Amino acid sequence: MEKIIPLGVELYVNLAAFVVLFVLLWKFAFPPITKMLDERAEKIRESLEKAEDTRIEAERLLEEYRQQMAEARQEAAKIIEQGRTVAENMKAEIIAKAREEAEAEKAKALEAIKAERAAALAELQAKVAELSVAVAGKILGERLSPSEHEALIERYIAEVGSLDER
């Protein structure tokens, strides 16, 4: 047991050395160590605050980005709808114009047909009148003077024309 427990003088010397060493450490080593630990804790706290601020800013920017994307989508949908509307209007205008042109062409064709029919009828009436006068002349056995011939043709055309109107 003697060897485990130091002697009284050794105990006091060791205790005095410990106290002197503790006081020196307390006075010269612990303040810079404590200061360094406090500075490190302050840097960590500032870093955490900056990280939190950055996170909040990132969330704000993300929300702003989402809003801008939603607005852009709405604007794109609006532009597409306007394009569709313009295309539909143009389609309707083109179809209406084509119908008008077709109707105009149809009207022109009908007018041309009527004119051709009228010309053909007039020509046919003239031929029929001439043939009728010629036949009448042969049947009567006499020749008609040009004025009588003309009067007979006019009368016959009038009769044939009135038959055509029925």
Per-residue pLDDT tens listing for the chain (166 residues)? 456 666 778 888 888 999 999 999 999 999 999 999 999 999 999 999 999 999 999 999 999 999 999 999 999 999 999 999 999 999 999 999 999 999 999 999 999 999 998 888 888 877 877 777 677 766 665 666 777 777 777 777 777 666 555 5
Q: Residue 74's pLDDT is what?
A: 96
- pTM of the shown model: 0.42
Sign of the Cα pseudo-torsion (32, 36, 39, 41, in order): negative
Please state the φ and ψ torsions of residue 143, each to the nearest 5 degrees: -95, 145
Q: Residue 17's pLDDT is what?
A: 93
Separation between Cα atoms, residue 122 and residue 161, nearest integer Å:
9
**Six-digit token string for 90:** 């143009």
